[in-house]
Structure 1
């Protein structure tokens, strides 16, 4: 397995572990990290999450709600994204940002919902709904998961520039 394939494989495994573990139980033992990370836009302090339910996994550092672009609201609504404004001080990244607006299926009547979707999807939606309540057009945030101990890493985000003729 090549390096790129191996990386994709572990991202797939990790994301499935996160989805299969209830997020509230996953984050319940999280503690504010002592490490402060310098980014181009300011300093971040995240959470250290022990992987208690998975004994062979090492703790991870989680940075929730990290802005990666200016909010697409008001005059920015229909324009290309721009880099976020720098912030002063240390930004504690302990809460996810809002999710983008979306129409959620009505699952209040479980019998009617099961006519439209499989039981597994209904159960999955029930687990996700608390995290989808906070919706806003200002939704351009990242949740970053990294090894709690180890070498620094760099994330590259590809951003296409729309060209006008």
Structure 2
């Protein structure tokens, strides 16, 4: 099959996410608690034969580039009954050493324990029809954690709201 110019577009999204990694330990009452620490991962932009680099972010500024990314704050329980609140706080979303960091923080509100975290999107910042996406990320593992990276359509309502609009998990 002949490659067209449109087919040779590549979106090389290089996200290096040192994020919270958790280890579980038992409290005296038998409940699980999480200790968090950060793990750093670094990667080079891969050269992919037959593709031209269309877009990338090396996270080399002092803060997240809002011309490429949106903060997406939400209250706890927003969609999947999550315990965390997504914030636009620089405590939860920040750039350090060429990495975008999305950090979960255990906190208390109204006498209840919960977490704050970050969620960012590229919606209405860039889109493409064909190409290849490259993501480099380090995600945490642990009880109750659900890290995710996915692609969503530019117009989520075209085929119906999520999940009908089509979501590509990476």
Question: TM over 0.5: same fold?
Answer: no
Larger % of strand: which?
2
Considering Cα pairs closer than 8 Å and 6+ residues apart, tell me whether 1 or 2 has the greater RCO. Answer: 2
More helix by share: 1
